[in-house]
Structure formats: structure tokens, C-alpha cells
Amino acid sequence: MMKRKLIPFALFLAALSASTTSLAASQEISKSIYTCNDNQVMEVIYVNTEAGNA
């Protein structure tokens, strides 16, 4: 009986952990595209070293 109550709670914790992980990953790396003189394009990738995983 106790196992039946713990399964939904465990699933909730797993889903919460997965969403937090993907949010953290998306905040570590960002890409920007700049248009320079003569319509040249420069792509820049920023790595957030403060996130702790760099």
C-alpha cells in the first residue's frame, strides 16, 4: 500500500529534476548573431562559466 503512494511522488521528483537540469543547461550556453558592416554576419557563442559546469 505504501509503495502505491510513493510511485506518483517519485515520478513527480524525477520530472522536476529533469526540467531543472534542462533549464540549467540552456542558461550555460547562448548564441548571438550580429550583422557587421557590409552585411557581414558574425556568430558568437557565449559560455557562462559562472554556471559551474564549464
Domain extents in the chain: 2-51
Neighbours of 29 (CB within 10 A): 13
pLDDT score of 47: 83
Return the C-alpha cell found at 54.
564549464
| pLDDT tens sequence across 12-50 | 656 655 544 455 555 678 888 888 888 888 888 888 877
Q: What is the pTM of this model?
A: 0.39
Q: Which residue has the higher pLDDT, 8 or 31?
A: 31
Sequence-distant (6+) residues with CB within 8 A of 15 are none
Neighbours of 28 (CB within 10 A): 15
Is residue 36 within a helix (H) or strand (E), and if so which, with residue range?
Answer: none
